[in-house]
Amino acid sequence: METAVMVQDLRTLVECESPSGDVAATTRCAEVVAELGERWLGAPPQVLRTGERVALLWSWEGPQRRLVLGHLDTVWPMGTLARWPFTHDAQRASGPGCFDMKAGIVQAMHAIASLEDPSGLALLLTSDEEIGAPDSRSLIEQVAQGMSAVYVPEASAAGALKVERKGVSLYAVQVAGRAAHAGLEPELGVNASIELAHQVLAVAGLQDLSAGTTVTPTVLSAGTTTNTVPAAGQIRVDVRARTEAEQDRVDAAMRALRPVLDGASLTIEGGKNRPPLERRRSEALLARAVHAYRELGFGELGAVAVGGASDGNFTAGLGIATLDGLGAVGDGAHAEGEWVSVPDLPRRARLLAALVRPDEAAR
């Protein structure tokens, strides 16, 4: 695996901007990824559509079925490249989306291309991971059925593999009150802002840091004018939990919320978005990865638990062994200036190749 070639492939992908919310842009990027994949993997992908979204699937028949799972969308809006172009030297490459996770796509392709026998392997790349995979989740779960293991070349955490990811739940608490003139007869109104204040405190009280569960009120809105008692409002809530039991506890509590003010009413929307990737789903694969990394002469390999989610959460939720963070070594995910370690591009590709070989999958 030639480092210079991998850097050039990374440039090609970074310079095709692909913000999640721009379907046309992600479709264009999928076309570029398909061309790159056809060059390295020897065949065009199967182009799969979920709603307006495009996903790419390469697969090879055979036993010991394994899946490499990634995404081509990024958090960066169109035009970011103009002020922050792709750059690189012998140590670092930088550009929007290089770390999360276009380097991982390059590494996956080079890893698979290096295999003498890719039988039983599949590579699936989606285009809406950064917004929770609303269109791709069912496809991911369908493709993953029957897989013995899933490998996710998402960006690593300072080189460490991600063996545990929290599950994500997202809610919107809608408050309905009653409008009235704030100066003439405020007592005739039901103030949605005051009701929201009660609900914010109730929601925040659901978190349990000792269990690793965070419940965070985020976006809040209410009211129309300064002289009107607010008739409606909304609070959005982000929940992260290490276990399905904690996700279920918070979900039940959210749906049990009740209004405090007479005349107010609540509507609870949303729910569980991604199940957790629990450590028990990754431990066996981690042990093999640590051994392979050492055998390749690259030294010791660390592992971490993180709060962020990925599409690997879906496969872990199906009970499939899943190992995440196999992609780029670097830093700055979702931050301007994100970067990738250039010397680690081929190293991590070689690690992935060692893990997905049929003989390795059979151990």
CATH number of the domain where residue 244 is located: 3.30.70.360
Query: From CA 186, how far away is CA 13, in angstroms rounded?
Result: 58
CB 78 within 8 A of CB 20: no
| Residue that is last in its domain, among 274, 307, 328 | 274
Q: Which of 73, 128, 130, 135 is catalytic?
A: 73
Q: Do 96 and 148 share a domain, yes or no?
A: yes
Same domain, 138 and 39: yes
Query: Do both 124 and 232 map to the same domain?
Result: no
Q: What is the pLDDT of residue 157?
A: 78
In terms of domains, do 267 and 159 share one?
no
Check whether residue 139 and residue 246 sit in a common domain. Answer: no
Residue 217 lies in domain: 167-274
| Whether residue 105 sits in one domain with residue 17 | yes
The CATH number of whichever domain residue 288 belongs to comes to: 3.40.630.10
339, containing H or E segment: strand 339-341
Is residue 152 domain-shared with residue 171, that is, in the same domain? no
Residues 42 and 126 reside in one and the same domain: yes
Catalytic (active site) residue 135? no
Distances in Å between the alpha carbon of 94 and those of 11, 85, 100, 247, 337?
Answer: 9, 8, 11, 36, 6
**pLDDT attached to residue 1:** 75
238 is catalytic: no
Same domain (yes/no): 343, 316: yes
pLDDT value at residue 363: 44
pLDDT tens track of the chain, all 363 residues? 799 999 999 999 999 999 999 999 999 999 999 999 999 999 999 999 999 999 999 999 998 899 999 999 999 999 999 999 999 999 999 999 999 999 999 999 999 999 999 999 999 999 999 999 999 999 999 999 999 999 999 999 789 999 999 999 999 999 999 999 999 999 999 999 999 999 999 999 999 999 999 999 999 999 999 999 999 999 999 999 999 999 999 999 999 999 999 999 999 999 999 999 999 999 999 999 999 999 999 999 999 999 888 999 999 999 999 999 999 999 999 999 999 999 999 999 999 999 999 864 444
pLDDT of residue 359: 67
Q: Which two tokens stand for residue 132?
A: 């929770």
Residues 6+ positions from 26 with CB-CB distance below 8 Å: 18, 19, 20, 53, 54, 72, 73, 127, 128
Sequence-distant (6+) residues with CB within 8 A of 141 are 314, 315, 318
Q: Are 262 and 239 part of one and the same domain?
A: yes
Q: What does the pLDDT read at residue 45? A: 98
Same domain, 349 and 204: no
In the chain, how many domains are there? 2
How far, in Å, CA of 280 to CA of 83, rounded?
A: 43
Query: What pairs with residue 66 in β-bridges?
Result: 121, 149
Catalytic residue among 17, 129, 154, 344: 129
Domain end residue (candidates: 256, 274, 292): 274
pTM: 0.89
Residues 318 and 197 in one domain: no
Do the beta carbons of residue 236 and residue 217 sit within 8 Å? yes
* Domain closes at, from 234, 252, 274: 274
